Amino acid sequence: MAAGGFVSVNTGNAKDANNILIPKDDADAAFNAAACIGCGACVAACKNASAMLFVSAKVSQLALLPQGKIEAKNRVLNMVKQMDEEGFGNCTNTGACEAECPKEISLENIARMNREYLY
């Protein structure tokens, strides 16, 4: 998280909340990704001990919202780098993470993160 799972905004001086309009579907999708409770089941379930579902849920939440778009590229690069450095394994798309997630976080988030990473 410290590697970029945030929007770089200091306290105070934020614009009126309704100045940023967000389509309901995007807000709902961001919320569904943000529902992750960080329990670690996805990593524990993965034969590669990959943390892709966890990281992608945060990357997705912020990539779906205009507030998060500005830093989207750096965020995904830094968070993936951090994940690799901490020794988590690679994702081979087995889907075990999604199957065991108590909050039913979707594999789509991994796809979205890969897209953010590549483009």
> For residue 27, what are the CA distances in angstroms to 45, 84, 99?
29, 29, 24
Shortest spacing between CB 76 and other proteins, in angstroms: 14
Q: Closer to other proteins at the Cβ: 9 or 111?
A: 9
Please state, in angstroms and rounded to a whole number, the distance separating the CA atoms of residues 95 and 9: 34
Q: How far is the CB of 29 from other proteins (least distance, A)?
A: 9
CB of 80 to other proteins, least distance (A): 15
Q: Which positions touch other proteins (CB under 8 A)?
A: 1-12, 14-18, 20-24, 27-28, 30-31, 34-35, 37-41, 43-46, 49, 51, 61-62, 65, 67-68, 86-88, 100, 102-104
Q: Output the DSSP codes for 82-110.
A: HHHHTT--------HHHHH-TT---THHH
